[in-house]
Amino acid sequence: MTQDVDLDAVVRSRIRSLRLARGWSLDALAARCHLSPSTLSRIETGHRRIALDQLVPLARALGTTLDQLVDTASDADVVIRPVADDARPGMTAWMLTRDHGPRTVAKLRITRPTRPLPADQLGVHPGHDWFTVLTGTARLQLGDRTLLVEPGEAAEFSTMVPHAISAYDGPVELLVILDRDGERAHLHGAGGGGSEDPVRDGVGDGAGPAGDGAGPAGFTG
């Protein structure tokens, strides 16, 4: 019974908050969902029970869904405490979002500078990548261009263009936003075209072709 009362109060509060967020009066919202202003007022203040046939037009008028309006998901666990993942040599990742949703936010630290990758070792995948540099300098290889991205700067680009991101002249820390394809390619070792070659995937052990320690330690598509 208490749970029903709590949900009822939450729904009423959501209706009122969404209405006010749009700058609508009671009259304005009532006209949009074909209720009288007095009925809507009693719904918001708890002086009238909310019927299902009232919730549906209310949700539609407020630009939401019935499921969202009556959602009971708990918001108790809102703090994400990321754990460092050192599975890829030369790169540490801290996941800053949970594993549901179309976007992944992560902090990355690429620990050693590298030389640019040859053009035929750059990767591609569907979608777009976005990152900003927190500390250090990032080298962004994008097609036939090589760009240096400094702290406070950001880059956004189509990942159908062959690309790689690596450290330049010292360790670099990035905040990245990836779609599902980008997450698979950059954080789960999919690499360009599903290659498992550590050079193509941009997570080699730091040994270049001649064993000079200059191999890739960033990531490609």
State the amino acid at position 88 in one-letter form: R
Residue 60 belongs to a domain: yes
If we measure between CA atoms, which residue out of 126, 139, 129 comes closest to residue 192?
A: 126
Share of the chain above pLDDT 70, in %: 79
Please state, in angstroms and rounded to a whole number, the distance separating the CA atoms of residues 217 and 166: 6
Question: Considering the domain boundaries, does residue 75 fall inside one?
Answer: no
Query: Does residue 132 sit in the same domain as residue 188?
Result: yes
Residue 175 lies in a domain: yes
* Domain termination residue (choose one: 26, 41, 69): 69
Residue 73 to residues 3, 77, 182: CA-CA distances in angstroms?
13, 10, 28
CB 193: neighbour CB atoms within 10 A?
11
Residue 213's φ and ψ, nearest 5 degrees, are: 75, 15
Residue 28 lies in a domain: yes
Q: Kindly state whether residue 79 falls inside one of the protein's structural domains.
A: no
Q: Residue 210 region, left (φ>0) first, then alpha (ψ -120 to 50), else beta? A: alpha
DSSP annotation of 191: -
Token couple for 120: 């035929």
* Mean pLDDT to the nearest integer, 104-122: 87
Asked which of 11, 34, 69 is the last residue of a domain, the reply is 69
Name beta bridge partners: 109.
92, 173
Is 60 found in the same domain as 110? no
Judge if 55 and 99 occupy the same domain: no
The residues with which 110 forms a beta bridge, in sequence order, are 91, 172
117 and 198 assigned to the same domain: yes
Residues 127 and 212 in one domain: yes
Query: For residue 10, how far is the Cα from the chain centroid?
Result: 27
Final residue of a structural domain among 37, 69, 101: 69
The whole-model pTM stands at 0.59
pLDDT in tens, 1-38: 445 557 888 899 999 999 999 999 999 999 999 999 99
Residues 105 and 200 in one domain: yes
Whether 80 is in a domain gets the answer no
Residue 77 lies inside a defined structural domain of this protein? no
Looking at the fold, whether 147 and 210 belong to one and the same domain comes out as yes
Q: What is the mean pLDDT of the chain?
A: 80
| CATH number of the domain enclosing 209 | 2.60.120.10
Tell me, yes or no, whether 90 and 196 share the same domain.
yes
- 119 and 170 share a domain? yes
Pair 58, 90 in one domain: no
Taking a C-beta distance cutoff of 8 angstroms, is the pair 105, 97 a contact?
Answer: yes
Residue 155, domain extent: 85-220
Sort strands 154-158 and 172-179 into parallel, antiparallel or unpaired.
Answer: unpaired
Identify whether residues 62 and 91 lie together within a single domain: no
Examine the pLDDT at 204 and tell me if it is beyond 70.
no
Which CATH number covers residue 24?
Answer: 1.10.260.40
Nearest to 135 by CA among 147, 149, 145: 149
In terms of domains, do 34 and 120 share one? no
Read off the pLDDT of residues 50-105 as tens digits, 9 standing for 90 and up: 888 899 999 999 999 998 888 876 666 678 788 888 757 788 989 888 776 678 89
Question: Residue 109: inside a domain, yes or no?
Answer: yes
Domain count, the chain: 2
